[in-house]
Each structure stands twice: as structure tokens, then as C-alpha cells.
Amino acid sequence: MGLTNTPSDLLPGTLELLILKTLVSGATHGYGIVEHLRQASDDVLRVGESALYPALQRLLLNGWVKAEWGTSENNRRARYYTLTAAGRKQLAAERAEFDRMVGVIQRVLGTT
Amino acid sequence: MNRFLRGLLHLLRRSRHDADLREEIETHRALRQAALERDGLDSGDAAWASQRAMGNVTLAVEEVRDVWVSRAVDQLWQDIRIAVRGLSKNPVFTLVAIATLALGIGANTALFSIFNGLILRPLPVRDPSRLALLTDGGWSYPVWAEIRARENDLFDGAFAWSGERFDLSRGGQSAFVDGAYVSGRFFEVLGVSAVRGRMLTPADDGVGAMDGSVAVISHRFWREHFAGADDVVGRRVTLQRRAFTIIGVMPPGFFGVDVGRMTDVMLPFAAEPRIRGQESLLAAVDSAWLDMMVRLKPGQSLEQANAALRGVQPQIRAATVSGVVGARAARYLTNPLTLAAATTGRSSLRTQFETPLFAMVVAVGLLLLVACTNIASLLVARALARRRELSVRMALGGSRGRLARLLFTESLIVAMAGAALGLVFASWSGALLVRQLTTWESNVSLELVLDWRVLGFTAALACASAIVAGVAPVLGLQSVAAGEALKDAGRGLAGDRRFAVRGTLAVAQIAVSLILVTAAGLFLRSFASLNQLPLGFVPEPLLVAELQSSDAPIEQRGPRAERLRAAAAAVPGVRSASLSRVPLLTGGGWGANRIAIDDGPMPVEDRSDQRLWRNATTPGWFETMGTPLVNGRDFTDGDRVGAPLVAIVNQAFVRRYRLGQQPIGRTVRIGLSNGERRYEIVGLVGDSVYTSTRDGMMATMYEPLAQIDPEDFRETVVLTINAAHGQRAAVERDVAAALARTEPTVAFTVRTFDQFIDATVTQERLIAMLSSFFGGLALLLAGIGLYGIVAQAVRTRQGEIGLRMALGAQPAGIVRLVLRRVGVLIVVGLALGLAGSLWAAQFVGPLLFQVEARDPATFVGAAGVLVAGGVLAAWLPARRAARLDPAAVLREG
């Protein structure tokens, strides 16, 4: 799989789910999220900026994450995203939904 | 909701957010570049690679923006900007459209605000929905005393009031103020408290309370007569020649409970005997002069309240029946007492103006329709003129829906601007209209408030106008194809289908205008026929002075009136001056219910509208009035108390009671509660009007004023003065001075018959005025619409016309060519309008006087006016076409 710049390569909402999961281990900036996703997926998931930032803004709009300006490793101003309580709840819910969805898809694929 | 707020905040700080995002993404890129450099790329390659990996940043920023603010809102904002730019590029069109709509919406809002003030608005008191009115008109004070004794058992309080006019002057000409007698708990039950001092309390109204000489004044009266002075409490105000102490000021906006009447001064009922003296009505069981309202208990329904009231009705009726006699007593005892909801107060104007107001609301709605059609037509023309632009926009990828929205936004903006201006126009014209309702006998005062009902109505009108005006150009858009106009360089051909929309609009406009013009014609004719009614006397030289002698003992009133009459007769320029008991043209008078001729049987009671009217006059009254004496003699000084009773009758009387050729010498018997009185007819006079001009000639019997029992002498007597030709104004001034000199304490008013007649036709005058205004405006708008269509058609067909002329067509032929097209529109419009008018006539009928609702002359006249207007509107551009220089046109084309 190449560069994911359109979320349509994933199941709808999956990118948000992955971002929320990434933020469970602590606050990080956009590049940190992309890198974490890349490493955790063994280089399979490469998320482009034009997909990442709209997704982050959607999470902000819904109040699932909050953002604070901080300083990055290379001494630049960077926005650090933190999971909110509502975000944690949302993660649990979406995770359950995702599991159900995957199960359904596998069942469909399993029946020939 | 939170989401929405966050989105809104974002919109406000949009450029800041965009900059933040760009910075964030740049940081992202720099981090990636650093990582690539760590992997061994040199910094130039790393910068390039990181840039490439990033993708389209602008797109990302745009998408982020979409997350926060939906694309629709953004586009709406854009639409508004483009529309405003487009409208301001064509200021004449914009101003005409906005002014047209402002007139249309303003006129609608003005009428609606009157409708609202008169019919819809609740009283400005505490919890008005719990108020109920004891219906069927007036009640006597003893009935109120019975209700008051039970007010807390049956209801949550009750109050009574009686509207009166009080004279503020200390002497000479009267200056009237609208006031009322009210019961002690009036303000308490209504829940109205004072802004200065205190309101009336039951202590002020105790029968025989020595403190009966107190008054409460309205906020307006306080402002106008006391300049809003803080020390107003404790000051004096003169009412009916007596001093009253002001104890408080009512809150602003409170006018009493009579809608349409500003009650400026309120006195307790205890003050009534002080003003009326021996003629006080407080003890009278047969005088119906009060209105009563009750406040329902919380949770008490109107039905429960009615049931409670009917439960005690026998006691109330029985306690107040003494003095009421015969058949009337039986009716009085059984007629059920009924309460009706009174959330919106009470108003005598409502019944009078409900129908005409409704008719005018319909007319003004039609007018707005014409205005909208005009704007639609203008917008279509604009859309056609902009075909090129629209076509290009479409070719560049603008969707049809988006373009439609753009066009619609334009009409919406015009509608909103029109509505805003219309509100200004409405508040001005509404007040003007209300002023038209005031006559000598009733001072109409209606506060027009821009409350949520009026504003909502206006907003709804604006939206409806935008839809009506905006749909046609959007429909016309369907004929625009992408890039089409680029091919066609604008050489239009004659039978272009694009004009079909505007043609339809013009037909609708002409049809609606015809309906309005026809209605205006009918109302004008009706008003004219009311004004041409015969009176039976000659009003031009006459002045009518009503003399008020309430301050004099009854037995002195007769001699005093005679002294005043003599003083007026001695004024230079006065040809004659006579007294009469009853003023004419006031809608009522002095009548007789039981009458018999010679030895005929005395009827039980005549309650028909055509009852016998009476008047009492001094000798010479008929000559003063200009009413001819047909037969017999006038009264003389010999006809006085003690002499045989005599009467003069008019010809209508002779016809009504079938007296035949020889009425002189016959006997008229008037039935009284204790016997009857017999009069010998000594004279026969010509007919004249009595109650109102529209009621026509009334059977009337005249008696000598000198034969009225002194104790029956009323507190007012009418002095009619016949002034020499051209001197009426001077005589009015001199007579007023002479009266004040003769009797310094007498109160009087001097009026002309024009004022009395005007008051009887207020409604018709208002309708005639409004409908002509609406009709004229509709005609003008239709004319403008037609003019626009023809002008456009001529412009488009310029090439063809030039060619025809080059080939030898005469100018007259060109005019005919253009007019023929318009002629079709006018004829179709007239046909539809005629059908509409014939249908609408049934609703107009009840408002007309002596004019048929389908009066052929009016219909033909209205059609003629429309044809003339339409032809004129079409002829102007047609003539211009005929004057085209064919060579120039063909060279240009």
C-alpha cells in the first residue's frame, strides 16, 4: 500500500480510530502520529498530511482531542494533540464497532 | 450545539486558523526532512523529497476549512457577495425594485399592524387571558353593585367602567378629553400599577366617599399637559368645570380596556354624582351605561365562570328589576348573563372596521403580488441580459443549481432591503391611517407596536416576495445552455421563446391590476353616492353650537338657552338662530316606541329600525335649516306649557302613518309608561335626514321646545345659526365670543354640518382613499412592467425593424407591429381580470352603498383605464422604434 492521502483507502472513520489509539500512549504532534502509525504497521500505513490534518480537525471539532502549542525536537512550534475523556469513550465505542465490522466482513468473505 | 459554537468561533478567526495550520504542516515537513537527512540524503534532496511527500497543502487547508464550516455556508457567503456586487452594478434596477417592494410590503405591514393593534394584540395588563367581558352592551350601576358583592365568590375580582368625555375648559368653548368612570378595584384587578403616586382604590370609590374628587391620568396626558412634571401628584385638573386632585399617573402604553380609545383621565364612580348632580345615574336601574369585566380564577374556565354567574342570575335580576316595566321586565329577567373572553379588551371599532379592514388586507396583498410580478419581470430581463455571463459561468463549471441559487440570492436581498424600508414606511403610513379614523365624535387612538407578530408577518412577506419574484428568473435559466451565448452574438429574433415568461407575468399583472382598479372604481362611486345624498336642509350657511348647561339647575336651563339664542341672533351676519333639542346626524336621537293616530289602537312596542324620531324646536327653526314648510303653520310663541300640545310632522311621517291628503288637524298619541300624550298636528314640513345620511329620510315629529316639561330639559341643547353668505367663519368667531360673554360658565362646541356628515362616512372615505391609492399604484406598476417588456422587445428586434424600414415599412406600420404583440397581452390580461373581478364582486358587495357590485359602467371604465395605461406604456417605446434610423441600425447590426 502506498501513500494514503485519501481516507477512502481505509474503511470510513478508521483513520480517526487509529489516531485516537495512537494518542492513548501520550500527547504527540502530527508527524509523531504519522511515524507511530508507520512503525506500528511495519511501513504499510503511510498517512499523508492532506488526510491527517482534516482528520485531526474533525476530532478537535467533536471535542475528542485537544491541542496545545509546544516545541518540537527540532525547536519549531508544533501542535501537540492530547486525548480527552470524551475521546477515550469514543475510542472504546469505535473499537467495538470496528471489531464487529471486521467480523461481519470476514463472515461475508468466508461464505462462498 | 457545542459543535456549532466551535464552528462559528472558527469562522470568525478564520485567517488565524489558516496560518496556524500552515505553520503546523511546515513543522511536519521539517521533521520529515530531518528524518530523511538522518537516513543519509543531502539536505537539498531531503527538502525536495519532503515537499513532494506532503501532497497538496492548499487542498489540505481547504479541506480543513470544510471540516469546520460546511461548504454551503461558505458558498452562501460568496453568493451574497456576488449578488450585492451584481446589484450595485445596476443601481437603477436595484432602487426601483427595492422601492417597489418597500411600498408593497410597507402597505401590507401598515394594514397588518392596524389589524394587530385592533384585533390581535392582548391588553397590556397582567395575565390578560383570564379577563372576561359581560357581553351584550351596557349595564346599570345597580347590576354592577350586585356583581361587585359577589366578585370574590364567583371570580378573582371584577370591575366596571364607563367611557366618558370630559370638558377640560374652565369656560367658553369646550376642550374635550377621553376619560372614564371606573370602579375602585379597576387597576387592582387589571394588575396595573402607577408610575407616579398611586392608582384608585376601593376607598376612593365608596359611595358617598368625600374623597370622590380624585383623578388618575394617563402617561400621555401627564407628558402633554404637565410636561412630565414630578410634582404632578396633588395638582388639580378641571373636568366639567369642577376641580379634581391628581393622585397618580398610569404606566406608559396603558390606554384602558377600550381598544382604539386612549382613556386619558379616570375618575372613581363616586365622582359621578358630583358631576351629574341630580341626574346621577348611580341609582338608576334602567340606564345601561356601564361595561363590566371579571378576572377568572386560576384554572377556572369560561364555561365554569358562566355557570357560576348563571347560578346567581335570578338574585341579580330580581334585585335590579324594580322600575323596569311590562314586556321589557320579562325579557330582562330571562335574558341569560354571558361572559366572553376579553384577552384583547373591548372595542367598538372592531365590528365597524373588521370587514373593510379585511377587504383592504386582500387588496394590499394583491398589490404586493403585482409588485412582486414586476420585480420578477425585471429580474427575468436582467437574467436575459446576463445570458452571456451566465453561459460563461456555466461553461467554466458553475452548476445550474449554483447559478439558480445566485439568481435567487439577488431577489432575496432585494426582498430583505424592501422589507426593511417597508417597516419604516409602515410605521409612518399606519399612524396616518389611524388618524383618518378620528372624527368629531370619537377620538381614535391606536398604538401601533412593532411586536413579534408584525415583525414575523413582515419577514414572512419578504420571504414570500423573494420566492414569487425569484422563481421566474430561475425557471428562465433552464433555457440557458453552457457556452451557447458565446456562439450567438446576441442577434435575437422576433418570436423568441424567452419572452414567454415575461409575457405571462405581464398578463397576470394586468389581470390583478384590473381587479384592484375595478374595486377602486366601485368604492369611489359608492363614496360619491353617499356624498350626494339629499339632506332635506341647506347645510352650507349653518353652524351648529351644542350648549352644555350641566352646571345650571334644571329649571334654569330653558331661560338660559333662550338668552344665549338671543345673544347669537344679535351678532352681525347672523340671519337667524334657533334652538332644538336633538342634534342631527349623530347616529341616534330621541325616538318614540309607541305611537297611534287619532283613535287607533296603541301598539305594544315598535323596536324596528324605522322607529319614529322626534325633535323639539323653537319657532323659526325650519326656516333656519332651510327645510320647507309645506302646509299649515310653524310653532309660535303661543305654543308653550299650558297651551294645547301641538306637533309638526314631515311627509315621511304622513306616508308612514297613512295620514293621506289632510294631515293638519289630526291627532298623534305618544304612549308613555303612565298613560299617553296627545298632540294636534298643526304643520307639515319637507323630509330631512335624522340619524345619518345613509339611513335616508326619516318619519319625524317636531314639538315646540317651549312645551317640554322643564324637568325634562336636557343638559345639552342645540343652537343652529344661519350665517349670511360667505361670512360663516367670521360669524363662528363672533358667536363664540358673544356666547361666552352672555354666560361665562356655559360650555359649548361649534361645528359645521360637514363635520357631522364626514363622521358618518369615515369608513367609506377610508376605503375609497385606500383602494384608489392601491388601484393607482397597481396601474403604475403594470404600466412600468409593460413598458419594460416592449422596450426590451424593441431593442432585441432592432435589426429586424431596421430592415423592414429599409424595405419601405412606414413608421405607423412599425408602431402597429409592436403594439399588436402588446395588444394580445392586454386583451388576455383584461379577460382574466374581468373574470376575477366578477368573482370578487360578491365580497365587495356588502361594503357598497347604492352601487351594484357588478356595476357595468365601473367595469367598463376600469377596463378602459387599463387599456389606456397599457397602450401608453407600450406606445412610448414603439414610437422610439418607429423613429429608428434604418441605415444606422443596419450598419451596427
Measured in whole angstroms, how far is the alpha carbon of residue B305 from the centre of its chain?
A: 34
- B473 and B778 Cβ atoms separated by less than 8 Å: no
Query: What is A22-39 written as a DSSP string?
Result: HHHT--B-HHHHHHHHHH
Q: For residue B637, what are the β-bridge partners?
A: none
Is the ipTM higher than 0.95? The answer is no
Residue B2 to residue A58, Cβ atoms within 8 A: no
Per-residue confidence at B615, pLDDT binned at 50, 70, 90? very high
Closest CA to B468 of B400, B518, B423, B418: B418
Per-residue confidence at B354, pLDDT binned at 50, 70, 90? confident
Long-range contacts of B848-857 (CB under 8 A, 24+ apart): B848/B522, B848/B523, B848/B526, B849/B526, B849/B529, B849/B530, B849/B694, B849/B764, B850/B526, B850/B529, B850/B530, B851/B522, B851/B525, B851/B526, B851/B529, B853/B522, B855/B522, B855/B525
CA neighbours within 13 Å on the CB side: how many for B90? Answer: 18
Domain end position, chosen among B343, B378, B394: B343
Chain A nearest CA to B27, separation (Å): 6
pLDDT at residue B891 greater than cutoff 80:
no
Residues B269 and B234 in one domain: yes
B25 touches chain A (CB under 8 A): yes
Q: Give the pLDDT of residue B498.
A: 53
Query: How many structural domains compose chain A?
Result: 1
Residues B24 and B53 in one domain: yes
Give the one of B2, B31, B64 whose C-beta lies nearest to A72's C-beta: B31
Residues B773 and B752 in one domain: no
Residues B516 and B450 in one domain: no
How many A/B residue pairs have CB atoms within 8 Å?
Answer: 74
Closest CA to B652 of B600, B599, B611, B708: B611
Q: Give the pLDDT of residue B399.
A: 72
3-state SS assignment for residue B288: coil
pLDDT at residue A4 greater than cutoff 60:
no
- B61 and B21 Cβ atoms separated by less than 8 Å: yes
B473 residue type, one letter: P
Residue B401 CB: number of other CB atoms within 10 A? Answer: 10
CA–CA distance, B120 with B172 (Å, rounded to integer): 41
B60 touches chain A (CB under 8 A): yes
Instruction: Spell out which residues of chain A touch residue B31, defining contact as CB-CB under 8 Å.
Output: 29, 31, 72-74, 76
Q: Give the pLDDT of residue B606.
A: 62
Cα B489 to Cα B425, B473, B482: the distances in Å are 44, 21, 14
3-state SS assignment for residue A77: strand
Residues B13 and B152 in one domain: no
Give the one of B32, B59, B66 whose C-beta lies nearest to A50's C-beta: B59
CA–CA distance, B96 with B94 (Å, rounded to integer): 6
Residues B886 and B836 in one domain: yes
Residues B181 and B201 in one domain: yes
B214 vs B396 pLDDT, higher one: B214
- B201 and B289 Cβ atoms separated by less than 8 Å: no
Instruction: Spell out which residues of chain B touch residue A63, defining contact as CB-CB under 8 Å.
Output: 2-3, 6
Residue A73 to residue B31, Cβ atoms within 8 A: yes
Residue A48 to residue B55, Cβ atoms within 8 A: yes
- pLDDT tens for B528-560 read 988 888 899 999 999 999 998 777 788 888 889
Domain that holds residue B138: 128-343
CA–CA distance, A53 with B392 (Å, rounded to integer): 35
- What value does the mean pLDDT take over residues B614-633? 94
Q: Give the pLDDT of residue B391.
A: 77
- What value does the mean pLDDT take over residues B206-222? 79
CATH number, domain at A51? Answer: 1.10.10.10
- What value does the mean pLDDT take over residues B212-229? 90
3-state SS assignment for residue B299: coil
Per-residue b/e over B456-481, b at no fewer than 16 CB within 10 Å?
A: ebbeebbebbbebbbbbbbebbeebe
Per-residue b/e over B623-649, b at no fewer than 16 CB within 10 Å?
A: ebbbbeeebbebbeeebeeeeebbbbb
Interface of A with B (CB under 8 A): 3, 5, 29-31, 34-35, 48-50, 53-54, 57-58, 61-63, 72-74, 76-79
Give me the count of residues in chain A.
112
Query: How many structural domains compose chain B?
Result: 5
- What value does the mean pLDDT take over residues A28-38? 89
Per-residue confidence at B491, pLDDT binned at 50, 70, 90? very low
Domain that holds residue A78: 3-110
Instruction: Spell out which residues of chain A touch residue B32, defining contact as CB-CB under 8 Å.
Output: 31
Q: Give the pLDDT of residue A9.
A: 56
- pLDDT tens for B635-664 read 999 998 889 999 999 999 999 888 888 899
Chain A nearest CA to B31, separation (Å): 7
B67 touches chain A (CB under 8 A): yes
B484 vs B49 pLDDT, higher one: B49
Mark which residues 29-58 of B lie under 8 Å from A by CB: 30-32, 34-35, 53-57
CA–CA distance, B512 with B19 (Å, rounded to integer): 58
Chain A nearest CA to B3, separation (Å): 6
- What value does the mean pLDDT take over residues B275-289? 82
Average of per-residue pLDDT values in chain A: 83
Q: For residue B134, what are the β-bridge partners?
A: B339
Per-residue confidence at B734, pLDDT binned at 50, 70, 90? very high
Q: Give the pLDDT of residue B333.
A: 66
CA–CA distance, B326 with B604 (Å, rounded to integer): 10
Interface probe with A: pick from B14, B31, B52, B58, most Cβ of A within 10 Å: B31
CA–CA distance, B384 with B380 (Å, rounded to integer): 6
Residues B28 and B56 in one domain: yes
For A10-14, B74-78, B790-794, which range has the lowest pLDDT when averaged over its residues? A10-14
Interface probe with B: pick from A29, A50, A81, most Cβ of B within 10 Å: A50
Measured in whole angstroms, how far is the alpha carbon of residue B456 from the centre of its chain?
A: 19
CA–CA distance, B859 with B554 (Å, rounded to integer): 59
Residue of A nearest to B34 (CA): A74
Residue A58 to residue B54, Cβ atoms within 8 A: no
Query: What is B395-449 written as a DSSP string?
Result: HTT--HHHHHHHHHHHHHHHHHHHHHHHHHHHHHHHHHHHHHT--SS--B-----
Residue A57 to residue B27, Cβ atoms within 8 A: no
- pLDDT tens for A83-108 read 999 899 989 988 898 888 888 988 98
B280 residue type, one letter: S
Per-residue confidence at B679, pLDDT binned at 50, 70, 90? very high
pLDDT at residue B525 greater than cutoff 50:
yes
pLDDT at residue B682 greater than cutoff 80:
yes
- B486 and B396 Cβ atoms separated by less than 8 Å: no
Q: Give the pLDDT of residue B482.
A: 57
pLDDT at residue B72 greater than cutoff 70:
no
Per-residue confidence at B322, pLDDT binned at 50, 70, 90? low
- What value does the mean pLDDT take over residues B510-528? 91
pLDDT at residue B493 greater than cutoff 60:
no
Q: Give the pLDDT of residue A3.
A: 46
- What value does the mean pLDDT take over residues B458-484? 75
Of B22-26, B51-55, B135-139, B185-189, highest mean pLDDT:
B185-189
Residues B769 and B753 in one domain: no
Closest CA to B513 of B816, B834, B809, B164: B834
What DSSP character marks residue B629?
E
- pLDDT tens for B80-98 read 888 888 888 878 778 888 8
What kind and span of H or E run contains B229?
A: none
Residue B53 to residue A63, Cβ atoms within 8 A: no
- B408 and B400 Cβ atoms separated by less than 8 Å: no
- B371 and B97 Cβ atoms separated by less than 8 Å: no
Q: Give the pLDDT of residue B672.
A: 81
Per-residue b/e over B190-213, b at no fewer than 16 CB within 10 Å?
A: bebebebeebbbeebbeeebeebb
pLDDT at residue B578 greater than cutoff 70:
yes
Q: Give the pLDDT of residue B7.
A: 67
In chain A the first and final C-alpha atoms are separated, in Å, by: 27
Instruction: Spell out which residues of chain A touch residue B5, defining contact as CB-CB under 8 Å.
Output: none
Give the one of B3, B24, B54 whose C-beta lies nearest to A79's C-beta: B24
Residues B429 and B502 in one domain: no
- What value does the mean pLDDT take over residues A44-55? 81
Residues B308 and B364 in one domain: no
Residues B144 and B165 in one domain: yes
Instruction: Spell out which residues of chain B touch residue A5, defining contact as CB-CB under 8 Å.
Output: 55
Average of per-residue pLDDT values in chain B: 84
Q: Report the share of chain A in percent with pLDDT over 90.
A: 13
CA–CA distance, B425 with B445 (Å, rounded to integer): 19
B23 touches chain A (CB under 8 A): yes
- What value does the mean pLDDT take over residues B262-273? 90
CA–CA distance, B674 with B290 (Å, rounded to integer): 27
For A13-27, B110-124, B208-222, B587-601, which range has the lowest pLDDT when averaged over its residues? B208-222
Domain end position, chosen among B343, B371, B401: B343
Residue A53 to residue B7, Cβ atoms within 8 A: no
CA–CA distance, B526 with B514 (Å, rounded to integer): 18
CA neighbours within 13 Å on the CB side: how many for B454? Answer: 27
Per-residue confidence at A2, pLDDT binned at 50, 70, 90? very low
- A102 and B48 Cβ atoms separated by less than 8 Å: no
Chain A nearest CA to B68, separation (Å): 7
